[in-house]
Amino acid sequence: MIVDARAEAWARLQLAGLAPRALFDLLREFGSAQGVLDATPAQRRRHAHPDAAALLDTAPDAARLEATLAWLHEPGHDLVAWDDPGYPRALLEIADPPPVFYAQGRRALLAGPGFAIVGSRNATPQGCEDAEAFAAALSAAGFTIVSGLAQGIDAAAHRGGLRHAASSIAVIGTGPDRIYPARNRDLAHELAAKGLVISEFAPGTPPLKQNFPRRNRLVSGLSRGVLVVEATLSSGSLITARLAAEQGREVFALPGSIHSPFSKGGHRLIRDGAKLVETAQDILDELSVAAAPAPEGAAPKSSEMADPHARAIVVALGHDPTDVDTLVARTGLSASAVIAALTALELEREVASLPGGRWQRISRRA
Amino acid sequence: MIVDARAEAWARLQLAGLAPRALFDLLREFGSAQGVLDATPAQRRRHAHPDAAALLDTAPDAARLEATLAWLHEPGHDLVAWDDPGYPRALLEIADPPPVFYAQGRRALLAGPGFAIVGSRNATPQGCEDAEAFAAALSAAGFTIVSGLAQGIDAAAHRGGLRHAASSIAVIGTGPDRIYPARNRDLAHELAAKGLVISEFAPGTPPLKQNFPRRNRLVSGLSRGVLVVEATLSSGSLITARLAAEQGREVFALPGSIHSPFSKGGHRLIRDGAKLVETAQDILDELSVAAAPAPEGAAPKSSEMADPHARAIVVALGHDPTDVDTLVARTGLSASAVIAALTALELEREVASLPGGRWQRISRRA
C-alpha cells in the first residue's frame, strides 16, 4: 500500500499496545489516530486509564516502526483501521473489535458474509476431508471461509474455501509476516494471493501463547456462524464456539463416533444447544440461504480412478460395510481383482477397510 | 400355569380379536372377563360398537382355543390380564394398553423399571457392540432392557441385558410360540429362561406385517426411556421413539458419522429434541439414577488376549489413528511383531484398520 500520514499514525498507535477499549475511548474523544497522537499526555489521561494513556507518552521503538512501515509498503499489504470505510461491519458488532489490523490479500473479502470452520489440530483424515468439503460447498454458496490457519481442520477449511469464489480468510495470531506453524507456509501464501490473511499483531510479532485465543474472537466475529468439525474437549475451537454464541452467531457441530475423542467437543456443543448438521445444505437452510449448485470437482470422477474395476467396486460397495465375497458376487470380478481395486481405492481414500475384512465407502460430498 | 376359569375366559376374549378400546369399555361395564362373556349380545351392544360386540357373539375357533390353553398349561407360560395385580403399571399409563398378553419367563421383571434399546436390523458391528454395552451397563444399574427381538440392535440389546441382574424383556410381534426371525431362536430361549418374552398375540399367530409396528408401543410403554442405536431414516425404531415421546418417555440417541446411513435416524431425533448420549452414565444421570458399579467383564482383560504383545500395542495405540511405524517406535517391538499383534487384535475386534495403513482402538465400554 501507499503509506500516508494516516496509515503511519495508525501504525504508531497499534505499536503502542493499548487495550482496544482504551484506544477506542481516545479515538472517540480526539476523532482520529492523528488526533490521539497530537493530543498532550495530560489530555489523553483525562479520557483513558492513566496506565494505558502512558503507553503513548513515548515514541514507539524505531526499529519496529520501521519494520512495520516497510511491511506496509509492499504490494498487497494493507492496514485496515476502525475509521476505514472497508472495516468489516461484522466486527463492529462484537464486544471488542480490534481498532486496527494488518491485511494481506483480497481486502474485498472483508465485505462478504463469512462463515467459520474450526476444529482440532491433530484431526483425523476423515475430519479434514469433511472440513474441506463443507468449506468448498459454503464457499461455492457465497460464504467466505474464516479460520485460524492452524494445522488440521483449520488448514483443511482454508483449502476448501479457496476452491470457490468466496475464498477464505485466515486470522492469524502472529504478525502478518510470521507464519505459524511453518508447515502452513504454502497455504498462507496461497491465501495471501487468492484469499486474505489478517492479523491484529504488528509485523515481527512472534508466536506468543496468549495471542492465539485472542484471535478466536475475530474468527467468529467475522462470521455469520461457526461450524466445529472434530474437536476434543480441550480444543481451542470450543472457545471459538463459546465466543460465537456470545456474539450472537449460530453455532453448528458435526456429530461423530461416541468412541472418538475428536467427537466429544462437538457433542458437548450439541447438548448445549449447537445445531447438529450432516450436510452443508443444513447450514445454508439454517442461515436462510438459497441452495447453491453443487461444487464441481467435489468428488473424483470415475475416469480419474487408477484401477479399471474401481467404478464397479464403488457402485457395488455402497455405504454398508461389505466383505470381499459379497463384492465378488455383486460384480462378477475375481477375488484378486476385487482386492486389487480395493487397495487402489484405499490409497485414493475412496474406501476404508473395516474390522473383519469388510470395506466401506468414504464420502466426500458435504 | 394352572389354567383356571378366569384364565380361560381371558383367552376366549383375547381370541375374539376386539380392539383394546372396545374390550376395555365392556370390561368396565361387566367387571371381569367372565362378566363380559356372560352378558347377552344385546347387553354388550349397548356398551361397545356393534361391530366389535358382534365378535363375541360366536365362540372362538375351537382349535385355536385348544392350542392357546395347551400353550398356557406349559410350565413358565402365563397370561397377564388387565385386572391382574402383576399387570405392569407402566403400561397403564399409555393410551392403548393391551387388555391381556401372554408371557414366558420371569414375570417379576414386569415390576421393575424398564429401558428400551432399539435400532436397525442390519446395524454395523460397532453399533451392535454399543447396544450390548449400553444394555449391560443399564441392566447392571437396575433397568430391565426392553426390545423387540429383531436382528441387529434389538438382539444385541437383549444379550447385554441378560448379562446382569435386571435382565431383559422381549416384546414380540408373533404368537408367544412363534419366534421370528428364526435366527433368534436361541436368544428367545435364553430370554424365556432368564428374562421374559411377551406377546399380545395368541399362540400360533404367524409373523404378520401389521403386528410389528403395534408391539413397538409396548416396547416404549414398558420403559422409562428409549435409546436409539444406529437407525436409518426408514427404521421402525424411529416409530418407537415417536411413540415413546407421545407416552412421555425420555428419548435418547447415539450420534455417529455423518457418512453412515445408520446415524441419520439418531441425528434426526437429536435435532427434534432427543438427548444425545455418549455413555450409559449419561442416561442414568438424565433418569436421576445413582451410578452403578461398572459391569464386570465389559472389557476383555489383557490376559485373555491371544497375542503376547497385544497389551503393549493397545496401550501404545490409544484412540488416535496411528501407523505401524509409530507403534514400532512406541513399543520397541519389530514391525512384524506389531503387525502380528494388530492382526490378532483385529480378529478379536479390539482394533480396526483405517485407510492409509493406520489403526485405531475399538472401545467397548458404554
What residues 250-279 of chain A have any CB closer than 8 A to a CB of chain B? 254-261, 263-264, 267, 270-271, 275-279
SS3 B37: helix
Interface check for A351 against chain B (CB to CB < 8 A): the answer is yes
Residues A137-172 have pLDDT tens digits of 999 999 999 999 999 999 999 999 999 999 999 999
Cβ neighbors of B36 (< 8 A, separation 6 or more) are B9, B13, B23, B26, B27, B29, B30, B44, B56
Cα dist from A234 to A121, A230, A263, A364, B245, whole Å: 11, 11, 12, 27, 34
Cell numbers linked to A146? 474464516
H or E element: which one contains B101?
Answer: strand B100-105
pLDDT digits (tens, 9 = 90+) for B3-37: 999 999 999 999 999 988 899 999 999 999 999 99
Say what the ipTM of the complex is.
0.75
Average pLDDT, whole number, for chain B? 89
Nearest CA in chain B to A268: B276
The pLDDT tens digits for A72-96 are 999 999 999 998 999 999 998 898 8
Q: Does A321 contact B at CB distance below 8 Å?
A: yes
Grid cell 457465497 in the structure block, residue? A142
Task: Report the residue of chain B nearest A258, measured CA to CA.
Answer: B278
| pLDDT tens per residue across span B30-63 | 999 999 999 999 999 999 999 999 999 998 899 9
Res A311: pLDDT: 76
Nine-digit cell string for A252: 453448528
Per DSSP bridges, beta strands B77-81 and A358-361 are unpaired
pLDDT grade for A324, boundaries at 50, 70 and 90: confident
Q: B211-214: which pairs have CB atoms within 8 A and are 24 or more residues apart? A: B211/B173, B211/B174, B212/B148, B212/B173, B212/B236, B213/B239, B214/B173
Closest CB from B257, B270, B277 relative to A256: B257
Contacts of A322 in chain B (CB under 8 A): none
pLDDT at residue B114 greater than cutoff 50: yes
DSSP assigned state of B291: P
